[in-house]
Amino acid sequence: MRWGTAPPDAAGFRMANETTEPPAMRMGGCPYCERTVLVYEDPPRCPLCACPLDASTMKPFAFPTERPAEAGSD
C-alpha cells in the first residue's frame, strides 16, 4: 500500500501565462450613452451601459506616455 500524494498530471493542467499581452485598448463612441469610451473587449461593448459597439468605428488608443513627443513644444 502506498501512502502520500502524487504530483498533478502535467498533461491535463496548464497554467495561464501571466506575461501575455493584454487586449489592445480602443476608443469609440457609444450611440446610447453619447460618450467616447475606452474598450478592450472583443466584441466591443460599452463599459457604461454594456451595449454593443460598432467595431468598424473603433480607433486605436495610445496612452499619453506612449505617444511620441511633439517637436517644438516650447
**Which are the contacts of 38, defined by CB distance < 8 A and separation ≥ 6?**
25, 26, 27, 47, 61
pTM higher than the cut 0.75: no
More confident residue, 72 or 29: 29
Answer yes or no: is pLDDT of 28 > 80.
yes
Read off the pLDDT of residues 29-59 as tens digits, 9 standing for 90 and up.
999 989 999 998 888 999 999 999 998 889 9
Sheet holding 59-60, edge to edge: 35-39, 26-30, 59-60
For 19-73, the three-class secondary structure string (H helix, E strand, C coil) is CCCCCCCEEEEECCCCEEEEECCCCCECCCCCCECCHHHCEECCCCCCCCCCCCC
What ranges do the domains of the chain cover?
A: 26-60
Q: What is the pLDDT of residue 36?
A: 92
Q: What is the pLDDT of residue 41?
A: 86
